[in-house]
Amino acid sequence: MEALPIPRRRSLEPRSFHMTESKTTRVRADFMGLFGELLCLSHNDTCEDANGNIVTLHAGMTLTAFDEDADEHGNRDDARIDRNGVRHESELQGGA
């Protein structure tokens, strides 16, 4: 089996962000693949986590998918989806 190149992570400044669920694996996702509350994570059985590591997906896996995003002022405010639905990190921190 031939190894596929791993795409480089898109980045918005600043790089630091607040993780709200430390026990849940955070995986990168393209929220253009969001259909209601259903998000297509990958067309393969793997995806990339927040640190760029490859995660093998399996049935019953609990994770939080996120997409790097910014608010109207350019501040980092990642979009995310988990068992509680789609939200932005600022909503979890009591912000807008």
Q: Write the single-letter amino acid at 9.
A: R
List the structure tokens of 65. 């998918």
Q: Is residue 19 part of a domain?
A: no
- Write out the residue range of the structural domain in which residue 87 sits: 25-92
pTM for the predicted model, two decimal places: 0.66
Q: Is residue 18 part of a domain?
A: no
**Residue 20 reports pLDDT greater than 70:** no
| Domains in the chain, number | 1
Q: Is residue 17 part of a domain?
A: no
Q: Is residue 15 part of a domain?
A: no
Model pLDDT, residue 94: 65
**Residue 1 reports pLDDT greater than 70:** no
Model pLDDT, residue 38: 81
Strands (E), 1-96: 25-28, 34-35, 38-39, 46-48, 54-56, 63-67, 79-82, 85-88
Proportion of the chain above pLDDT 70, given as a percent = 73
Q: Is residue 9 part of a domain?
A: no
* 27 confidence band (pLDDT: 50, 70, 90): very high
